[in-house]
């Protein structure tokens, strides 16, 4: 069985992405939870990845680190079910996901993931506001193109929705104001049973 090494559900936005893909593709896996920001994290993660970061997917002797590489592996293992089946849509979904994976640093820095926490109010820098506007624009574009195919960014749920799920949680925690189209997408994502399960586990973590 596959194992996914993850960080705290309250904090680890990168862990959430492949976890959601595994859940949505209904691939059985075991979670190996590690606690971030404690001295034991370093030696613990070194057992799985010399890169020293979560998430890591373990498949037998193979260890795959970095959320994007893990999701591509899951796409291959699932006969192409993680990304949209249409090549043009797939390229678009990969583009917006790569933009998330390598960008939006100002937003990520000012509004770190606090999955189970709401009511936070932290002003964004002009760069952070630009990131929110860009995300709002790309969500609206996806929803307009695919609104007849279903409620997710590309109609049917895909890895692009996993890439943006932590952004949805940040928008919920810190109270971003976005267009009506994006607000509907936020509600859609927050109603996802898998994401609800993640938030509930994050609540338990912070209550412990
Ligand atoms: N680009 C990596 C980022 C992974 C990452 O930064 N993980 C954080 C937790 S969300 C981590 O392991 N931090 C621990 C550390 O840097 O000591 C990915 O996509 O997986």
Domain 87-195 fold is Glutathione S-transferase Yfyf (Class Pi); Chain A, domain 2 (1.20.1050)
Distances from the Cα of 198 to the Cαs of 19, 73, 133, 193, in angstroms? Answer: 9, 22, 26, 9
Minimum CA distance residue for ligand 1 atom 6: 53
The pLDDT value recorded for residue 189 is 98
The pLDDT value recorded for residue 53 is 98
Please write the tens of the pLDDT for every residue from 123-144.
999 999 999 999 999 999 999 9
Report whether 5 contacts 48 (CB < 8 A): yes
Report whether 22 contacts 70 (CB < 8 A): no
Confidence category of residue 42, pLDDT binned at 50, 70, 90: very high
Distance between CA atoms of 20 and 25, rounded to whole angstroms? 8
The pLDDT value recorded for residue 139 is 98
CATH no. for 2-80: 3.40.30.10
Please write the tens of the pLDDT for every residue from 12-24.
999 999 999 999 9
Q: Is the CB of 166 under 6 A from ligand 1?
A: no
Residue with tokens 């267009």, as numbered in its chain: 179
Confidence category of residue 145, pLDDT binned at 50, 70, 90: very high
Minimum CA distance residue for ligand 1 atom 10: 12
| Cα-to-centroid distance, 12 and ligand 1 (Å) | 8
Stated as kind and residue range, the H or E segment containing 70 is helix 67-77
Minimum CA distance residue for ligand 1 atom 11: 53
Minimum CA distance residue for ligand 1 atom 13: 53
Q: Which of 53, 64, 99 to mutate to test the pocket of ligand 1 (most atoms within 8 A of CB)?
A: 53
| Cα-to-centroid distance, 156 and ligand 1 (Å) | 28
Ordered by start, the domain boundaries in the chain are 2-80, 87-195
Mean pLDDT (the chain, rounded): 98
């Amino acid at each position: 069985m596959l194992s996914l090494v993850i960080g705290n559900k309250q904090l680890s936005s990168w862990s959430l992405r492949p976890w959601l893909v595994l859940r949505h593709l209904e691939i059985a896996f075991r979670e190996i939870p590690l606690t971030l920001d404690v001295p034991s994290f370093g030696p613990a993660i070194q057992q799985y990845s010399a890169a020293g970061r979560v998430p890591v997917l373990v498949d037998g002797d193979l260890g795959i680190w970095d959320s994007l590489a893990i999701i591509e592996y899951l796409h291959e293992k699932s006969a192409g079910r993680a990304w949209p089946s249409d090549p043009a849509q797939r390229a678009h979904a990969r583009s917006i996901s790569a933009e998330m994976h390598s960008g939006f640093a100002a937003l990520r820095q000012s509004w770190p993931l606090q999955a189970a926490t709401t009511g936070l109010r932290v002003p964004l820098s002009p760069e952070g506001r630009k990131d929110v506007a860009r995300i709002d624009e790309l969500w609206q574009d996806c929803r307009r193109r695919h609104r007849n195919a279903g409620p997710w960014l590309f109609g049917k749920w895909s890895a692009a929705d996993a890439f943006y799920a932590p952004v949805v949680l940040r928008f919920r925690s810190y109270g971003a104001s976005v267009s009506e189209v994006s607000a509907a997408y936020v509600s859609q994502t927050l109603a996802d049973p898998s994401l609800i399960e993640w938030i509930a586990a994050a609540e338990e973590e912070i209550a412990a």
